[in-house]
Structure 1
Amino acid sequence: MKPLYRLFPLLFACASLPAFALGEAGQARLHQLQERWAEIHYQLPEKQRETAFAALAGEAGKALADEPKAAELHIWRGIILSTWAGAKGGLGALDLVKQAKAELEQALALDPAALDGSAYTSLGSLYYQVPGWPLGFGDDAQAELLLKKALALNPDGIDPNYFYGDFLRRQKRYPEARAALEKALAAPDRPDRASADAGRRAEIRRLLAEVKENME
């Protein structure tokens, strides 16, 4: 049985509907969710994160109530729920990751390409981090399939390369993991995501050090 690892911070073939254009107000709310997530995940003391993520999930829910067809908001509610699960830990987090999975699947049904395929990235990360049957839905083969779909849409992105590198590391495929993580580290900065990029690069460097140590 796999442990429930800390999850970050977004499948089956779905028929995609026409993409919903997120309005200016929705874009502002999305940016607020992204910034608060990075602040909680990378700056807040660990013992305060569970409560903070619970509150942020509520804010994401309110945003979705106003724009339920916005794939971007479904993605970010899924990301928030999954990182809340990581902060909570244990079997009590399984319900949260199942909710996150549902949000990400809904995002894929609405627009698989939203946010450069972030739903594939986040869903793939869930599949390799949660326990498998009978407790959860974890499945390494499905995880790799989803992560490769994410990379097909965003081959140079920091997140798809990071999560694929982490997956490969856990599979002990160290040379491949090193290549993916080095590509993640070299990814271009994202507009208005400086805090998230800084935190992610710190995580990448830690994983790279571990991978290189295992290759020696």
Structure 2
Amino acid sequence: MKFLRAMLMTAFCLSTAASTYAAEADSLMVIQHKWAVCQYQSKDMDNQVHCLESLIQHNKQALKDEPNRQELKLWLAINESSLAGAEGGLGALSLAKEAKTLLEQVIDNAPETLSGSAYTSLGSLYYKVPGWPIGFGDDEMAEKMLRKALELNPNGIDSNYFYADFLAQDGRKKEAIQYLTKAQKAPPRPDRPLADQGRQQEISKLLGELQ
């Protein structure tokens, strides 16, 4: 009887752990999918801004529930960066600064989170945000972060795309095409088909502009 009770208790604990893991995975997957919807399926800019604002609130709540999950902190930074890009102008700078702080925290605590995606996101902020005295933009830091992202994820679609985009803006056309071609061949992410589809469209568009 004691053995049966112990077995049932073990099964319950395993089931609870599995359910907790599934819930954690689901919260991240929901945020990732919703971001792709906001980014690639919004009908217009106002719709995209509203979509991202709603997603940021959801992301903040998820992070409040699980404050030690670096993936959720990383994605809050990505969502804030995306909203800054959608809104544009000086008003978006505070969002970019918030995202920068979050990404630096992820890099300090768990730099390999999601294959080093914090480096990719921080690098993209450095080359997209205006430089001093308006913002913190810095091409040298951008390249440093983006190259570190490639060290951690050499075949990733995002790590290659954003480095290529940086190179294109820096006037290094031949190098940009090289990394765009590599991004095109990146292995698909089974849990993020919409994001992959949207990114591949961006890759093709940039390749068309450079070739």
TM-score (norm 1): 0.86
Name the structure 2 match of 1:9.
Answer: none
Aligned partner (choices 27, 33, 36) of residue 35 of structure 1: 33
Partners of 1:99 and 1:60 in 2: how far apart? 14
Name the structure 2 match of 1:25.
Answer: 23
Deviations 1:62-121 (A, max 9, x none): 011111111111110000000011111111100010111111111112210010000000
Read off the aligned partner of 1:25 and give its amino acid letter: A
Partners of 1:124 and 1:79 in 2: how far apart? 12
- SS state at 2:111 partner: coil
Is 1:167 the equivalent of 2:166?
yes
Unaligned 5+ runs, structure 1: 1-21
Deviations 1:155-179 (A, max 9, x none): 0000000000000000110110000
Name the structure 1 match of 2:200.
Answer: 201
Partners of 2:21 and 2:117 in 1: how far apart? 19
Name the structure 2 match of 1:45.
Answer: 43
- Superposition pairs for residues 36-185 of structure 1, below 5 Å? 36-46=34-44, 47-185=46-184
| Large movers: runs of 4+ above 4 Å | none
Aligned residues of 1:69 and 1:110 also touching (Cα < 8 A): no
Unaligned 5+ runs, structure 2: 1-19
Which structure carries more helix by proportion? 2
TM-score (norm 2): 0.89
Aligned residues of 1:178 and 1:208 also touching (Cα < 8 A): yes
- SS state at 1:112 partner: coil
CA drift of 1:23 comes to 3.6
Paired residue total = 191
- SS state at 1:138 partner: coil
Structure 1 vs Structure 2 CA RMSD: 1.0
CA drift of 1:27 comes to 1.4
Larger Rg: 1 or 2?
A: 2
Higher RCO, Cα 8 Å, sep 6+: 1
Read off the aligned partner of 1:130 and give its amino acid letter: V
Identity %: 51
Partners of 1:160 and 1:152 in 2: how far apart? 9
Aligned residues of 1:127 and 1:143 also touching (Cα < 8 A): yes
- SS state at 1:24 partner: helix
